[in-house]
Amino acid sequence: MRRFEYHEPKSLDEASELLGTLGEGAFILAGGTDLFVEIRERLREVKHLINIKRISDLSAIEYSETSGLRFGALVTAGELEAEPSVIRYYPNLRRALAELASIQVRNRATVIGNICRASPSADTIPPLIADGASIETFRPEGGRTIPLAEFFAGPGRTVLEQGEIAIAIIIPPPQQGSGRSYIKHGRRKAMELATVGVAVSLDAKDNICTGARIALGAVGPVVLRAHKAEEILIGSSFDQNTVERVAEQAMQECTPISNVRSSAEYRRSMVGVLTRRAIELAREEPA
């Protein structure tokens, strides 16, 4: 591995100060599963590594019926995958976690690291955006809570400021009659980046859609919300005709590119197919 200086701050204040004073070339180490690859493949020039694993209170997972799920920056994908409240209430997130890389990687990779890397094809982002999650940050002058849908500024870029550290994710509790799903499309199941990922979260009352959030992964510079498609769905009874129109609209709203994994046209067609399937799946198991 290429050389870098290594730091082990004991508090968020200390970590944030290090980030500020060391400037460019200083990066936070949480899981390391992406960062070490980027260092080896020379995709990122790392001069200082700031390991936040010795900071206490970043490893908690808490669920309550009133405030939902909150998990800290050091929670690994494997821990969250095995968390009873995730299995029970957030099957969409669970699916995304179980399809992330491999068991070995999931035992190290943190979910917040996966999010902060801001890849448009990150598996965990679409279900979290569809569920209305927000991210909590630390700043010396006071942290903030940012809706995850507003957290990304472009591929690999977030709205985090210099010295600001993402410390937790909060997902609201599921409403009665809500349903959620995530479908990842790739050529194989494991060790694969999504060609397209679609997450859908629905609220319904008396079989009428009262709320819908559709998040599309790997078909734009950031994970997108298909707002117009959602509007078509809200107020409908999930009839086939409406669902077809929603899927059609989601295809219009995405902005895919062609790359080694697939062409833009293919991605756009798959958005249609998967949006339809994800709505059906979310309707199958309402909470």
- Which residues contact another protein (rule: CB under 8 A)? 1-6, 29, 32-33, 36-37, 40-41, 49, 51, 53, 78, 81-82, 98, 101-108, 189-191
Nearer to another protein among residue 103 and residue 208 (C-beta): 103
Least gap, CB of 4 to another protein (angstroms)? 5
Least gap, CB of 51 to another protein (angstroms)? 7
Which residue pairs, CB below 8 angstroms and at least 24 apart, start in 254-261?
A: 254/216, 254/219, 254/220, 254/224, 254/226, 255/219, 255/220, 255/221, 255/224, 256/196, 256/218, 256/219, 256/220, 261/186, 261/187, 261/193, 261/195
Least gap, CB of 81 to another protein (angstroms)? 7
Torsion (CA) 7, 13, 18, 19 in degrees, nearest 10 = 110
Nearer to another protein among residue 46 and residue 229 (C-beta): 46
SS3 200: strand
CA distances from 207 to 186, 239, 286 (A): 32, 10, 11
Gap between the Cα atoms of 79 and 124, Å rounded: 14
Least gap, CB of 205 to another protein (angstroms)? 33
Pairing of strands 224-225, 179-185: unpaired
Nearer to another protein among residue 14 and residue 192 (C-beta): 192
Nearer to another protein among residue 52 and residue 278 (C-beta): 52
Nearer to another protein among residue 51 and residue 242 (C-beta): 51
Gap between the Cα atoms of 209 and 217, Å rounded: 23
Least gap, CB of 67 to another protein (angstroms)? 25
Nearer to another protein among residue 36 and residue 266 (C-beta): 36
